Each structure stands twice: as C-alpha cells, then as structure tokens.
Structure 1
Amino acid sequence: MKKRILAGLMVSTFTAPAFAQNSVTLYGLIDEGFDYTNNVAGGKVYELQSGYAQGSRFGLKGAEDLGGGLKAVFQLENGFNVNNGKLGQGGLMFGRQAYVGISSSQWGSVTLGRQYDSVVDYLAQTTANGNWAGYLFSHPYDNDNTDNSFRVNNTVKYTSPEIAGLQFGGTYSFSNDTNFANNRQYSVGAQYTNGGLLLAAAYLQANNPSATAGGAINNGGDENFVGSKLRIFGAGASYTFGSANVGVSYTNTYVANPTTSGYVGDITLPTGTLSSLRFQNFEIDGKYQFTPAFYVGAMYTYTRTDFNSAAGKLNPSYEMVGLMADYNLSKRTDVYLQGAYQHVGGDRTGTVLDFAFVPGADNVSSTQNQVVARVAIRHKF
C-alpha cells in the first residue's frame, strides 16, 4: 500500500506542470541506417550513420492560453547521434531549436531564441532535401542552408498568420557583440498555397558569419562558408496532382572573402585568396505515392560555381542525382533506401572543392565522382 501511495505522489508531482499548461508535448524521431560510400580518399567506407532523411531528435513544445486570443508558446529541441549518444549541432543541449514567444491567431507570432531562418522556413520545402529526402540530396556543401547546416542564435522571429493562402515572416539575429554588425543575420521569406500549388521565396544575409562563438551563426558547429558576408536568396515551386508531386527551385549563394567551409575546411586558392565565391543551384525533383504506405522520389541538381580572385575567374560545376524509396511499416515507423551520385566538372581550382563530396558522405572523394547509398529505419514518437 505504501508503494502505491508513493507511486501516486510521484506521478502527481511530474504531471502537475502539464496541467498548468494548455498543452505540453514530448516528441522525437530516431533515424538510423547503414551507409556505403564508394570513394573516400580512394577507399570504400561502410558505416552506421544517424539522422539523414531527418535529423534524430527529441523535444518539448507547448502553449498556454493567456486570454484575448493570445498564447505563450515555447519549443526546446535536441539533436543527437544514435550511434554514440553524443549531442548534435556542435554539442549544444538544444541545438536544433530553443525559443519562447507569444502567438495570436489574428496577428501571428513573435518568438525569441535559437531558431530557423526564413530560407529554411519557406524556401527549403520546395527542394527535395528540405522536404521529403533529407541530407544526402542537399546541394553541394549545403551552400544555401536548405538542409539546416546552421541555425541562427539570438533571434527575433515574426511569423504571420495565413491570409488567403499567403504567409510571410522574417528574422533578425543579434551579434551580441560590441561591434553591432559582427556576426549578425537577417532574413525574410514568404509562401503561397492554393490547392496543390506551393510558391515560396526567401532572402538571407549574415555579416561575418561564424566569426564569434556567441553571435548569430556560432563557430562551434554551425559553420557554412566562412567569410566577411554570406548572402542567400532563391525561389521555388511545387505542385501536387493526384499521387504525384513535382518541384523546381533556384537558389543563389554568395560569400565574400571566403576562407573555409564547415564541411571540408580550407578553400584558399593556390594562386591567392578568393575575393568571392558564388553557387547557383538549379533543381528539379519529383515524388510519386504508389500507395498510402509507399512512395518513390528522384531529384537532379545542376550547380554552377564562380571562383573570383585577383588571378581571374574559374567556373567549376556540380551535378547531383538522387533516388529514394520509402515504405511505412506503421504510422510511426518506416524504412527507406537512398542513393546519391555527384560529379564535379568545369574548371579546376586547385582546392578541395575540385573533388566530389556528397553531403553526408564520410569524407571527400579522391576523384571527381562519388556515390553514397543508404538503407535505414526511422521511428517517430
């Protein structure tokens, strides 16, 4: 009897905060699979890897009714590696998201904390990697952040309500530095939906990204391309008709005075420092839902790159093809198979960027080609 009373008191203790809220939800996702890469520095690699179609995570989110149509909202979301239990996003406790704010069905929401930028919120969903495919289908080095290579810290975000199919928003991320513009970020984006049609566009700019640990884009696990300025913009569309969905997107990434990549390190030219680096990504993708439990998808991306330096301009190019099949074993569990191929062509630069590197591969290929294949299981709770 004493054990039953004690158990009842413990349950009451841990559930009491939930009753004080309108809703508090614990949720998560585990994505774990086997990867094969045909060329990593000249050798084959077989490995277990976590979080490719979607990043492995767990989190808490909730809302409290404040009256007058207002709600207090929050979300804390952790990323982790299933294989070794380590924290993701550079070892941050809640590296995926951590914010609190106020929401109104009439006026929209304002949230404060570590959050997604407008490229991720609006534009990414028109790409295969930002929608149904994930990491392996990212554009080279995830240069446009449509696969969330970085989140933005110290961020104030506004998200509008949906108005006749239109929704828009923006972010401003403080540098938290005596130099106001040193490692700050701002972005805007919008989307329009009408039946099966989705149109989206976004713009992002960061000054001295990853220059500091405490700024908008930290230097402990959020690096994209490091330089004096990062600018990303683009637009995309997708259309669903019956069991089929097709999408097209264009993104443009510009980095001033680039020095390193968060994926492959130093990118300095043998002939001198780069004055600027630009990626233009053109993607077409499609998905067909054969049954409610089974779909197949494919994508093709062509990326043109501009290397600008005092020695002149060079134009490498990247082509990527991806295929994916996914089967739901239940409402919460699915298995999937993916394959991605990348070829690097055009001008040779003398940097590591001359060699193929599929995002998610163990490391850079020794040639201009690389193939990665993955079979995995994903469970949501």
Structure 2
Amino acid sequence: MKMKAVCTAAGMLFACHAFAQSNVTISGLIDGGVSYVSNEGGGRTLKFDDGIAVPNLLIFSGKEDLGGATRAVFELTNQFELGTGTFMPGQSLFSRTAYVGLDDDRLGRLTLGNQYDFMVDSLFFGFNDAALAAAGVYDFRNGPFAKLALPGNPTGAFDWDRMAGERITNSVKYQSASFNGFSAGAMYGFGGVAGSIGASNASSFGLNYVNGAFGANAAYTLVKTATTSAQDSVRNWGVGSHYRLGTVTLTGLFTTVRNNLNGAGIWQVEAGTAWQINPFLSLSGAYSYMKGNAVVDDNHAHQLTAMLQYFLSKRTSVYVATVYQRANEGANAQINDVMVASSSASQFIGRVGVLTHF
C-alpha cells in the first residue's frame, strides 16, 4: 500500500511538472441547420444537415516549450455528425488529424502522422478559397463528373480538388519558416506495402507568399493507389491569391485534378468576395466554372454561392446561404455534399443554420 501511494504521488508530481511546461487547448467548431434541396434524385428534399458552413470538430492541441525558440507540438482532431454523434470520416476517433512534431521559429515545423496536404494548407488555409466564407462544404468542388471515378470517393467527384480537408496518412511533413514573406513545404506519405517502398505512397508540396494585404499560394499533390507507377495515381495542383481591401476580401482560385487510372480530368476557376459590413454582419459570395475532359463527357458547370451571416457574439452566428449549380444540357448537376445528383442540369440549395466555435 505504501509503495502504491508513493508511485501515485510520484505520478501526480510528474503530471503537474509536465503540465506546468506545456500549453494544452481544447477547441472546436459546431454547425447545424436545415437545408432545402430543389432536386435530389428527382425530388425535393427538406432535411437537417450539419457540418456545412464549418465542419463539426473537437480538437485537442498543445505545445511544450523546449527552449531556444523550439516547441514540441501535437494535434488530435475528431470530426463528428451533429445529428447522430457518429464519428467521421472513417468512423474512428481522430481520423480527421493526428500528429506530433517539432516547431522552431528559425528552422520551421516538422510533423508526423495523419495530416492535411498542401492543397488544404497552402490554398485553403492561405485564404484563397471562397468556401472559407461562403457556404463551406456546399461551395467545394463537385458537379456532373461522376465518371471522374476517384478511388474511395462517395460520388466519384466529391471534393475533387481536396480543399475540404483531405489528408495524407502515415506522413512526414515539413513547413519552412517565413523569409521575406516566402515559405514552402513538402510532405511524404508512406504506402506501407510490404516489399515495395513506392507503392501507395503520396507526396505534396506548397509554396506561399504573404505581403501585407496580399497573399498568393501554389500547391501540388500526387496520391498513388496501389503500385509504384505514376499512371496508377491521382494528381492535383492549383494556384490562388487573395487581397484584403479594408472590410472587403477578394479571392481567386484555380485548381485541377487528373485521375491517371482512367485519364479523366477537370479544371475550375473561382472568384469570391467577402464583405464585413459591420461588426455584426457579413456578406460573401462566389462564382465558379468547372470543365471536364472527354472522359467525363466534356461536361461543365457554373456555380453561384451566397451567404449572409449575423454574429450574435464573437463565437456564435446565424446565417442564410444559397447555392445554385447549372450544368450543360444532358448532364446532371450535383452540388458538393449532396450525395444524390439532380435528375436535371440544375440544382439549388437554400439553408438556414447556426454555428459556434469554442
């Protein structure tokens, strides 16, 4: 009994010492609301939908000061469905992100685990995607492109340019410090295939520039499916920029995808704006044009998005959002996160929701 008490006391002392040297944060995002879809498989739908303007996330993050401007860092992120409490994606606890690493003011940041690639880090978190302010997941890229047939994709083209938070598992990631506004990053995901170093691996790169109100970014990601061949892979790349002019932010984005398994490819261009009308009210909108190659029947689509947001506090807001997609004749429109395509060339969503962060 005495030894148990000594061990318990020693454990408490160690825990207190570790906590004194560390900074651990619990944070998150929650979004819920009601959406009207004009045509989902031929019928109208009124439904509860969540994780739209922002994903539902529970985040455990922390850092420990190691001295000399160096810190140990970690992050564990759980994504969940608000309506059911179910874990997602992958139905596991920390499948959104899970990593540990070192961060140095001069040398940069090195992390290991399940992490966002640079299509997300450079282009989306670089503030170049209008979806950040306008309708969230509904504004990410999808459309009449089911024949893109991305491996493991729920619609074949859901979030085809990876901007909604796609990750590379079993990865090592390096992000440089900023030098005169420039920074860069690279990551490698190990395939874990016995007998082959290159099979099922992944790589991603990012280049960033920030100068006051202006920023520009570029990114490239290649994910192999089962072999070492570049012909057995999916490739994305994109460029984007933003400019803040007082209370107005302008964004521009160009992204592409090529599924080398079947030769299907799509490109898109998007222009967006976000206006902070006053401390309590913001208005944002976006226009995008998507165009596929012959493998996806040369289909194309126009998409318009708008969102009006009223802030009840610094953490909580209510909003109204609309999305409209128009595809070419003979194609079926499909707004992102609507898992059943329209039976016609058009699809509309109207949504009322509330979101908070903590």
C-alpha distance in 2 between matches for 1:167 and 1:111? 16
CA contact (8 A) 1:113 1:154 kept: yes
Equivalent residue number for residue 27 of structure 1: 27
Q: CA deviation at 1:323?
A: 0.5
Equivalent residue number for residue 316 of structure 1: 299
- Residue number among 339, 342, 347 corresponding to 1:370 in the alignment: 347
C-alpha distance in 1 between matches for 2:136 and 2:338? 13
What secondary structure does 1:129 align onto?
A: helix
Equivalent residue number for residue 147 of structure 2: none
Equivalent residue number for residue 260 of structure 1: none
| 1:83 correspondence with 2:83 | yes
Equivalent residue number for residue 202 of structure 2: 185
Equivalent residue number for residue 338 of structure 1: 321
Q: CA deviation at 1:171?
A: 1.1
RMSD: 2.1
CA contact (8 A) 1:18 1:24 kept: no
Q: CA deviation at 1:92?
A: 1.8
| 1:228 correspondence with 2:223 | no
Percent identity between matched residues is 31
Equivalent residue number for residue 149 of structure 2: none
| 1:301 correspondence with 2:284 | no
| 1:49 correspondence with 2:49 | yes
Q: CA deviation at 1:16?
A: 3.5
Map of 1:1-381 to 2, 5 A cutoff?
A: 16=16, 19-124=19-124, 125-130=127-132, 133-140=135-142, 141-148=158-165, 150-178=166-194, 179-208=196-225, 228-257=232-261, 275-308=262-295, 314-345=297-328, 354-381=331-358
Aligned residues: 327
CA contact (8 A) 1:130 1:146 kept: no
What secondary structure does 2:236 align onto?
A: strand
Letter in 2 for 1:19: F
Deviations 1:327-359 (A, max 9, x none): 11001111111111111116x5xxxxx311101
Letter in 1 for 2:223: A
Q: CA deviation at 1:306?
A: 0.5
Deviations 1:36-67 (A, max 9, x none): 10111111111111111110011111111112
CA contact (8 A) 1:299 1:321 kept: yes
What secondary structure does 1:147 align onto?
A: coil
C-alpha distance in 2 between matches for 1:362 and 1:36? 14
Equivalent residue number for residue 263 of structure 1: none
C-alpha distance in 2 between matches for 1:276 and 1:130? 30
Deviations 1:140-192 (A, max 9, x none): 232111112x3110010001112221221111101011232322110111211
Equivalent residue number for residue 218 of structure 1: none
C-alpha distance in 2 between matches for 1:18 and 1:93? 25
What secondary structure does 2:199 align onto?
A: coil
Q: Which runs of 5+ in 1 are unaligned?
A: 1-8, 213-226, 258-274, 349-353
Letter in 2 for 1:244: V
Letter in 1 for 2:289: Y
Q: CA deviation at 1:17?
A: 7.2
Deviations 1:198-246 (A, max 9, x none): 11111111111xx59xxxxxxxxxxxxxx92111111111111011111
Q: CA deviation at 1:362?
A: 4.8
C-alpha distance in 2 between matches for 1:243 and 1:102? 36
Letter in 1 for 2:99: Y
Deviations 1:262-321 (A, max 9, x none): xxxxxxxxxxxxx3111110111111110022110110110110133xxxx831111111
TM-score (norm 2): 0.86
C-alpha distance in 1 between matches for 2:234 and 2:177? 29
C-alpha distance in 1 between matches for 2:174 and 2:36? 41
What secondary structure does 2:263 align onto?
A: strand
CA contact (8 A) 1:21 1:62 kept: no
Q: CA deviation at 1:20?
A: 4.0
C-alpha distance in 2 between matches for 1:32 and 1:16? 38
CA contact (8 A) 1:187 1:202 kept: yes
What secondary structure does 1:90 align onto?
A: coil
Letter in 2 for 1:129: A
C-alpha distance in 2 between matches for 1:372 and 1:50? 14
Letter in 1 for 2:333: A
Q: Which runs of 5+ in 2 are unaligned?
A: 1-8, 143-157
CA contact (8 A) 2:134 2:306 kept: no
Deviates more, 1:113-122 or 1:359-368: 359-368
TM-score (norm 1): 0.81
C-alpha distance in 1 between matches for 2:352 and 2:64? 41
C-alpha distance in 2 between matches for 1:131 and 1:108? 29
